[in-house]
Amino acid sequence: MVRTDPILAEAELLQAARAGDEDAFGRLIEPYRRQLHAHCYRMLGSSFDADDALQDALLRAWRGLGGFVGRSSLRAWLYKIATNACLDVIARRPQRVLPLDYGPPADPHDGIGAPIAESVFIEPYPAGPEAGYEERESVELAFVAALQHLPARQRAVLILREVLGFSAREVADTLDSTVASVNSALQRARKATDEQLPEQSQQATLHALGDKRVQELVGTYMRAWEEGDVDTIVGLLTDDVTVAMPPMPTWYRGREAATGFFTGYVFAEQERRTELVGFAAEERRVRALPTWASGQPAFAVYHWNAEAGAYAPVALQVLTLRGDRVRDVTAFVNPALMRRFDLPEPK
């Protein structure tokens, strides 16, 4: 059997791309594209922003290919370009946060409030069991949220060193800095993120529970959501649960507040349901489809739109677990975002 040497193949593609072959360039960068996109997501907290940053980075790589002389690996060179493209985005747009970082918890009797027009909230990322353990852990909502609190260069250092495994010298080259400066930034970034993160990652929690128990728990939660069974839903929550609905800044803390929100809006009369979902919903007909988001169990919620005569996407609920209870419910009320996930049409 003839085996193709990947290093030789890369060198041939690189030579052809330098000569102006766009197809060769596409094949050259294709093995790195998905991971580069995930890197841009960690840096920016938004899959949409990651799209733009990656497109910009690849355009820079194509234009600068003649300057790549092989002093570093192609991988390191591409990550350098992508990192700097992300730093440029960070410099010109607001920090991405979760609603819990945006303001204090609300009273469920005060209403859900208007959505924030400006894009300020972190978005989930399409990553599930097919991704490796480390990849899933590095896109969990809590980790990505902690990253967004770091100064931009500290964020880049932490991701490049701890997630991607680049050396201090390679990171220094990426950021036009020194090894000493990189090591100092890494220490500060580690300390800051440790203060933000829970004791156990979601991947560790899910592994401890086991696939069968996770499926049972999420399945019970989803069925209760479809049926409007508030008692079952509340029974699956921790006492200090949080419920958030970006792009609405409103969020609730504690089982009592969550119950008030569920009974007062989610499973309420037509008028309040319409306020929540954004279209007339004369009947409460709901479908929930399981998926994964940011390495965490999630499900997509659809409501029957009587006027359209079809189920309409409403929210992607991402569940964060503590033991066998739901600690955080983050419902991303954004149909455009839901289309990034591989979901069948509800029936």
**pTM, whole model, 2 decimals?**
0.91
More confident residue, 33 or 343: 33
Distant-in-sequence contacts of 317-320, Cβ < 8 A, 24+ apart:
317/225, 318/124, 318/141, 318/293, 318/294, 319/218, 319/221, 320/141, 320/142, 320/202, 320/296
pLDDT in tens, 314-338: 999 999 999 999 999 999 999 888 8
In this structure, is residue 180 part of a structural domain?
no
pLDDT in tens, 102-150: 989 999 888 788 888 778 999 999 998 888 888 999 999 999 999 999 9
> DSSP 3-state assignment of 3?
coil
DSSP state of 116: P
Report the C-alpha gap between 125 and 115 in whole angstroms.
21
Report the C-alpha gap between 204 and 126 in whole angstroms.
19
CATH of the domain at 2: 1.10.1740.10
Report the C-alpha gap between 102 and 149 in whole angstroms.
12
For residue 108, report the phi and psi dihedrals to the nearest 5 degrees.
Answer: -65, -15
Dihedral of CA 33/35/39/40: which sign? positive
Half-sphere exposure of 138 (CA within 13 A, CB side): 22
**Residue-range definition of the domain harbouring residue 329:** 202-338
The confidence score (pLDDT) of residue 2 equals 38
Are the C-beta atoms of 314 and 301 separated by less than 8 Å?
yes
Residue 289 parent element (H or E): strand 286-293
Instruction: Work out how many domains the chain is built from and give that number.
Output: 2
Q: Is 320 exposed, middle or buried (0-12, 13-18, 19+ CB in 10 A)?
A: buried
Q: For the chain, where are the alpha helices, taking DSSP H only?
A: 6-18, 22-44, 47-63, 74-91, 99-102, 133-137, 141-148, 152-158, 168-174, 179-196, 202-209, 211-227, 230-235, 255-261, 270-277, 335-338
In this structure, is residue 149 part of a structural domain?
no
Cα distances (angstroms) measured from residue 191 to each of 31, 111, 194:
33, 38, 5
Q: Which of 78, 93, 108 is the last residue of a domain?
A: 93
Q: How does strand 286-293 pair with strand 296-305?
A: antiparallel
The confidence score (pLDDT) of residue 88 equals 97
Same domain, 208 and 331: yes
In this structure, is residue 172 part of a structural domain?
no
Residue 273 has pLDDT above 80, yes or no: no
In this structure, is residue 89 part of a structural domain?
yes
The confidence score (pLDDT) of residue 321 equals 97
CATH of the domain at 225: 3.10.450.50
pLDDT in tens, 60-81: 999 999 888 777 899 999 999 9
Q: Which of 44, 74, 93 is the last residue of a domain?
A: 93
Q: For 93-159, where are the alpha helices, taking DSSP H only?
A: 99-102, 133-137, 141-148, 152-158
8 confidence band (pLDDT: 50, 70, 90) = low
In this structure, is residue 74 part of a structural domain?
yes
Q: Which of 93, 121, 141 is the last residue of a domain?
A: 93
In this structure, is residue 264 part of a structural domain?
yes
Q: In what order do the strands lie in the sheet with 237-245?
A: 248-253, 237-245, 325-332, 310-322, 296-305, 286-293
Same domain, 206 and 330: yes
- N- to C-terminal Cα separation, the chain: 48
In this structure, is residue 21 part of a structural domain?
yes
In this structure, is residue 104 part of a structural domain?
no
